[in-house]
Amino acid sequence: MKNHSGPIFDLHQHVLWGGRDIHGLIADFDAHGITEALLMTWQVGQFEQHTVEPEFFNSVQVQPDGTHAGLPLGDLLRAIELYPKRLHLGYCPHPLWPGAPQMLRSATEMYHVRLCGEWKFTMPLDDPRSLEVFKMAGDLGLAVLLHLDVPYLAGNPRLQRVWFGGDIESLERTVKACPRTTFIGHAPGFWREWDADAPARVEQYPEGPMTGEGRLQAMLRRYDNLVADISAKSGLIALSRDPAYTRRFLVEFQDKVVFGRDKYGGDHLAFLDGLDLPADVLAKLLWSNARRLLRLG
């Protein structure tokens, strides 16, 4: 990046997926200047098998009954053992597992979990079983990274085949119900609310010129325990709708936005570079905000 010569922390990353092994992930870090990263689980339940995309997932994790375990804790631990100075651990048990909050506590004590994530399950965010996990995360001092994909799109009464968490109202109820827990929002259901046109958009990933500020900005101003993760196609498409506005947004919320990719490559870095952000703002987005949220100093 032309505007940043310091360290870079990728807060949203996975391992043994997308056709690369552990060493391939590190090679991608080296190619794009990534200093450290957070790896996260995605524990796929039996009734969520339709959300697994075989071309992205580790074939080793196919179970004897034909189901897939997703991105389990064991894969992350093996990667961190190989690269302990560059990788940190995120873990979120499935809220429907018996004793899920206690599992989060146990894993944190045994394996030094730094964040509860990725929460990516086909159930409402504010389901009581999820709220119990989130409250435990708050007790442990862990932020929670949420994947939000709405169940319904405008003009379509049919339930989406793949959805996670609910809508912006579910997110707000969750943030209010767990004031001691910091939530990091991510994915299409989160970033569609970047623009005022969200309620009328039929696309999963709205594009085009912005019509005005959305509900997301209002929530970031209202709730101290809500943070935005710019990773994946969802974050990049949203921020690309109006780069001039995005620059103002990132300056205003410089303490409440974190850099992540949720993919390989340098697209997110190149976009941020093109905004010509102040050096101190860019350093927060790319490094210090993540380190603070993960309690790494």
Which tens digits make up the pLDDT trace of 10-49?
A: 999 999 999 999 999 999 999 999 999 999 999 999 999 9
DSSP bridge partners of 115: 90
Q: What is the pTM of this model?
A: 0.97
φ, ψ for residue 153, nearest 5 deg: -110, 155
pLDDT lower than 50: segments of the chain: 1
Tell me, what's the pLDDT at 3?
59
Tell me, what's the pLDDT at 58?
94
Q: Count CB-CB contacts under 10 A for residue 77.
A: 17
Tell me, what's the pLDDT at 54?
87
Distance separating alpha carbons of residues 209 and 168, to the nearest angstrom: 21
3-state SS, residue 235: helix
Tell me, what's the pLDDT at 155?
86
Is there a contact between 135 and 128 (Cβ–Cβ < 8 Å)?
no
The tokens 């092994």 sit on which residue? 21
Residue 207: is the preceding peptide bond cis (ω within 30°)? Answer: no
- Tell me which fold the domain 9-293 belongs to: TIM Barrel (3.20.20)
- Indicate the residue type of 113: V
